[in-house]
Amino acid sequence: MFSNIDEIQKFSKDRVELATKVATNFSKGVQQIATESADYSKKSLEQSTAALEQLFGAKSIERALEIQSEYAKTAYEGFVAQATKIGELYTNLAKEAFKPWETALTPTTETHAG
């Protein structure tokens, strides 16, 4: 497989670079997911607080039920949108993180002169 020490060193160096690219891509993807999750949590807390304040200010049971229904609908729609977005981010994470391996494992048309 290897005919001299230079080939072994190049192979090792290429694998280290490949692993570094994979780790960097993975780290970026995880960071993006964490940021998105934190943003959603903050937004969700703000919406919950606003709905609670409206509930405390409701003058009737009917208005309180209306506020609760609006909040439940908004919260559900927000959750579904967020779940979809996070799913897409995980899909992109898998694609991007392991793209360097894909490239490295794809056979090339080049031939090596020994």
pLDDT band at 108 (very low <50, low <70, confident <90, very high): low
In a domain, 81, yes or no: yes
- Per-residue burial over 58-90, b if 16 or more Cβ lie within 10 Å, else e, is eeeeeeeeebeeebeeeeeeeeeebeeeeeebe
* Residue 105 and residue 29 in contact, taking contact as beta carbons nearer than 8 Å: no
Structural domain of 72: 44-96
> Measuring CA to CA, which residue among 44, 31, 30 is closest to residue 79?
44
Q: What is the per-residue pLDDT for 2?
A: 65
In a domain, 86, yes or no: yes
In a domain, 36, yes or no: no
In a domain, 83, yes or no: yes
Q: Give per-residue pLDDT as tens, 3-61.
A: 778 777 887 888 888 888 888 888 999 999 999 999 999 999 999 999 999 999 999 99
In a domain, 23, yes or no: no
Among 15-19, 40-44, 66-70, 105-109, name the one with the lowest average pLDDT: 105-109
In a domain, 107, yes or no: no
In a domain, 3, yes or no: no
